[in-house]
Structure 1
Amino acid sequence: MKILVLHQLPYRKAGYDRAVDHRRHDVTYAGHADRLADLPAGLPARRLPVPADEDFAEAVVARTSPADGFEAVLSLSEFGVLAVCRVRAHLGLPGPTPEQAELAHDKVRMKQALAGSGVRHPRFAAEPPREGPLPWSGPTVLKPRRGTCSEGVSVFPSARRALAAHRALAEPGAYQLEEYVDGDILHTDGLVADGTLVHSVTSRYVGKPADYAGGAPLGSHQLPPDARYEDLARRVVTALGIDRGTLHLEFFETPRGELVFLEAANRMGGAGVVDAHLRHTGVHLPSHEIALRLGLPRPAPLPPSGRYHGWLVVPGHHRPAGRPHGVSLPAHLREHPCADRIHTLPPGTPAARHITYQEWLVPLALEASHPDPDTLRAYLAACAEATATTTEEAA
């Protein structure tokens, strides 16, 4: 098979070679110079450089032709959701249209698509009124319609203040207003084949993604199977028309136990989700997604660990440039039975200046596990508190 990969994720996260035999298939990687540089030196594949100052999709289109004979186009990145549709159409290959892909990419369209599905979602306003109030008055979230890592998300104590902030935006049409929902945030990660959720694991966040953007630690840990979570994920897959690949669904569980949709993506979760999922289930989400999208046999799962796994990431993007990050774990947490791996930056290495969950770009990242999910949660919460304290002291 002749495959064109829109390479926008770090290779170490995607692991294309776990699903694709590069000597059997003819593979071309299209990407920016820094991304192509992270391909293994001996990987038998073509490289198609994409200038960083050009629109990614248009640059690939300009450098490819239907005559090239590509049989499939693959993208695993949230940033390639629409690009892959554009390139696929240019090459004359079948697949979802941009309008279909938007249902799991645009936070307004995905909530609109849930109408009649039985899935509750927060009240929202894609185009707030030019005059007059919103239909609710309490805490309100202002967020981009597209994007990842909670970048650009703000929470206001009232709908009035959020509405005023929206009206002051240079591009208000790129944002939406959403009713704030009180509760824990959970995420379900799984696989979809032929429109059916065939595999999933649900985890509960320690902290909130929006707070991570502001500088707070973020983690999550896996939970035992729950029919309520699985039913919600199936309804979302059906309503959004997700046909194949991975699902990353985020939702609230309120203090009363009600499940409320937050957002969904037809791609794998970030941070430590892939590694935790692999250890818990034996399923490597990226390679299974690649197989599903290319029509190849899914890899055989590895033996599961028999433990619940979790992760914690401490950000550095909010720290002043050139300042030491000042993040460390106390000895009793470093040596705790839950601790599996602790990643820290080498001395003198600055943390990334942009919001990222990559363990090699942040001051500290932790992988943890335990047979009891409650014990694991308590450990991750203690680590979050300890690292938040050391970061504040160093500020």
Structure 2
Amino acid sequence: MTTRVLYLGWWSDAADVLARHGCEAAFVVPAAEREAPARHGFTGPVVVVPEVTRLDDVVAGLIRDGVDPRGFDVICSEHEECIVPAAVLAAAYGRAGLTMDTAVALRDKMVQKRLVRNAGLPVAGCRTVHALDEPGVVPPFVVKPLSGVSTQHTYVVRGQEALERVTAVLAASGRQGPWLVEEYMTGGEMHADGVVRDGRLLFLGLSRYLQNLIEIQDGGLVGSVTVDPGAHPGLYRQVRELASAALKALGHTDGVFHMELFDQGDRLAFSECAGRIGGGMVLETTAAKFGVDLYDEWARAVLGRPSAIGRDRRYDTRAHGWVHLIARPGRVRAMPAADDVRDRPCVTDVQMRVGPGDTVQDSATASNARAATVSVAGETEDGLAGEMRALARWFRDRVHVEAPA
């Protein structure tokens, strides 16, 4: 029988993989993306609502368009900000989907860190506050939204001057809080991307960020290089143990995940975990390095179908990675074309984000702000990281922008 799927948000990869699995899918999309499904060639039902992250908008839109959620087998989303609304909708209408407890644990950072800490894993100490001048809030610390994305509105406060500046920035943002204030964690940041089924970790791929993500505020690069399992078996063993325990604590027993952690030398510390595929070009580098299609595995978990990960799966011994190419903020007057970037050493694929005439977002505002993203491959992890930094410098120097007024 055909499986009917109601998906909150729009993601072309999700539409494609559900079609490959023979599903009949319907999408609830925000008004800002109402034309995206048709541009992609999707011809199924589309419900347009003001904001797909607001549950009242979604429910009203479905009723308004005569779409009954009870007519679907699964209600889901791979879009991070829609995971909780999809879980609530699935529970309300008795459809298959993430449980509400798990969905909240994968989104709310305070809930997530409490569960992981209670499981005995190293994690930053944290608390919620309504203002940074509350008693006991003493630098250094990191402040962020409870359920933010892409390090938006996330700041390191190291002293009194930074405290005053960040307080003003948060007030100007219009966000009311509460905010999460957490211990500043040392160590190099890594991300683990994988698949869990029936509570068992089926696959895990590990990568090191070029720089800790919080460093984008000081001009840092967002990108990562894969860690080879054969060259680092001890590290993989430690990460697998931490990831398995963290996923169990969060109740995430079936699906994909993107987990961040800190390598502090004498231990690994948990940072955050999302129940989705990692951003950047994690999807592409995972396929190239490890031979695993994370979108296919996401769909299989959502649909309750067996994983396609084989026991005899082999991986590429070369290093793979991806990096966001950034430019100074402003309107683009001239920049390298995709073919120019593709001709650079080690580059395997290019995704252009902007072109001449477009406006470049300030890369210090979010970890997903970029002019382009590239995937790369090389013989060694350190050598590839060096090539990625050189590529980023080459690109930035060749993008000419008109500074914003």
- Determine if the alignment matches structure 1 residue 39 to structure 2 residue 42: no
TM-score, normalized by length of structure 1?
Answer: 0.82
Q: Percent identity?
A: 21
- Determine if the alignment matches structure 1 residue 311 to structure 2 residue 355: no
Equivalent residues of 1:205, 1:219 under 8 A apart: yes
**Counterpart-to-counterpart distance in 2, 1:328 and 1:186:** 31
Q: 1:386 to 1:67 in 2, by over 3 A?
A: closer
- For structure 1, which runs of at least 5 residues remain unmatched after alignment? none
Q: 1:230 to 1:324 in 2, by over 3 A?
A: farther
Equivalent residues of 1:319, 1:325 under 8 A apart: no
- For structure 2, which runs of at least 5 residues remain unmatched after alignment? 230-235
Larger mean CA deviation between 93-102 and 33-42 belongs to: 33-42
**Counterpart-to-counterpart distance in 1, 2:355 and 2:182:** 42
* Residues 209-248 of structure 1 aligned to structure 2 (within 5 Å): 209-212=213-216, 216-225=220-229, 226-248=236-258
Q: 1:165 to 1:20 in 2, by over 3 A?
A: same
* Residues 274-353 of structure 1 aligned to structure 2 (within 5 Å): 274-299=283-308, 304-315=315-326, 319-320=329-330, 322-324=331-333, 334-336=343-345, 338-344=346-352, 347-351=355-359, 353=361
**Counterpart-to-counterpart distance in 2, 1:258 and 1:382:** 31
> Deviations 1:236-272 (Å, cap 9, x if unpaired)?
1111111211111101112x34212111111110011
Count how many residue pairs are aligned between Structure 1 and Structure 2: 383
Aligned residue number for residue 372 of structure 1: 380
Aligned residue number for residue 270 of structure 1: 279
> Deviations 1:33-88 (Å, cap 9, x if unpaired)?
55453336696752222222576432332315657521111211101111101221
Equivalent residues of 1:29, 1:45 under 8 A apart: no
Equivalent residues of 2:34, 2:48 under 8 A apart: no
Aligned residue number for residue 56 of structure 2: 58
Q: 1:344 to 1:67 in 2, by over 3 A?
A: closer
> Deviations 1:113-147 (Å, cap 9, x if unpaired)?
0134231112222238965333xx55221111112
Q: 1:352 to 1:125 in 2, by over 3 A?
A: same
Deviation at 1:371, TM superposition (A): 3.3
Q: 1:392 to 1:146 in 2, by over 3 A?
A: farther
**Counterpart-to-counterpart distance in 2, 1:323 and 1:27:** 38
Deviation at 1:368, TM superposition (A): 0.5
Aligned residue number for residue 261 of structure 1: 270
Aligned residue number for residue 88 of structure 1: 90
Aligned residue number for residue 136 of structure 2: 133
Q: 1:144 to 1:129 in 2, by over 3 A?
A: closer
**Counterpart-to-counterpart distance in 1, 2:147 and 2:393:** 30
Deviation at 1:280, TM superposition (A): 1.1
Larger mean CA deviation between 139-148 and 300-309 belongs to: 300-309
TM-score, normalized by length of structure 2?
Answer: 0.81
Q: 1:345 to 1:240 in 2, by over 3 A?
A: closer
2:79 pairs, out of 68, 77, 80, with 77
